[in-house]
Copies of this chain bind each other. A is one copy, B any other.
Amino acid sequence: MIEAAAYTVIAPDVQSADGCRVWAFTVIGSGVVMGARCVVGSHSYIGRETVMGDDVRIQSLVFLPNRTRLGARVFIGPGVVMTDDKHPRVNHPDYDAQPPIIDDDVSIGAGAVILPGIHLYAGCMVGAGAIVTHDVPAGETWAGLPAKRLHRWPTPPIGGGWLTRTRGTP
């Protein structure tokens, strides 16, 4: 059950657990599966067959390609763009979509760009405006262009949720 603002486009076959909300001017594509209490901000595009764990927070102006996989408690800041095509060309005959995989408790800062096929491991953090061209290991913070490691978390992040996989995470 989704509580939707005015002016939303939500495909009829979207599945969602309780407590989900979608803000104005957002598109939720066909086949998307949303865990409990997920919130998607305004002006966002959630590609087809994307799967979200529980308590995901997606801010405004976010683009997720088809079949993006998001764990539980993932935070995606405003203006974040993810991609799935390493060699974008019009009518590319060898187009092989590589959507991102985002594990539990990952936070992605505003305006970051995630390149195709990237895996962000549990509890890592991506700085605002980072261009992420390599996988980010669990619990690390990366930033810059291209993104590089800033530091490891000295202690588990709030809640410690990234140490154990959470029931209900896809």
Contacts and interface: CB of A to CB of B under 8 A. Distances in A.
A90 B113 contact: no
Interface in A65-116: 73-75, 77-79, 81-83, 88-94, 105, 107, 109-111, 113, 115
Given A27-B25, A111-B113, A81 B63 contact: no
A159 B91 CA distance: 9
A92 to B, nearest CB: 6
A164 to B, nearest CB: 16
A24 B57 CA distance: 22
A48 interface: no
Interface in A1-38: 5-7, 9, 23-25, 27
Given A7-B9, A113-B111, A63 B79 contact: yes
A90 to B, nearest CB: 4
Q: Chain A: interface secondary structure?
A: loop
B110 A129 contact: no
18 contacts: A7-B7, A23-B27, A25-B25, A27-B42, A27-B43, A41-B45, A61-B61, A73-B91, A74-B90, A75-B88, A77-B88, A78-B81, A83-B110, A83-B128, A89-B105, A89-B157, A89-B159, A111-B111
Interface of A: 5-7, 9, 23-25, 27, 41-43, 45, 55-57, 59-61, 63, 73-75, 77-79, 81-83, 88-94, 105, 107, 109-111, 113, 115, 128-129, 131, 144-145, 157-159
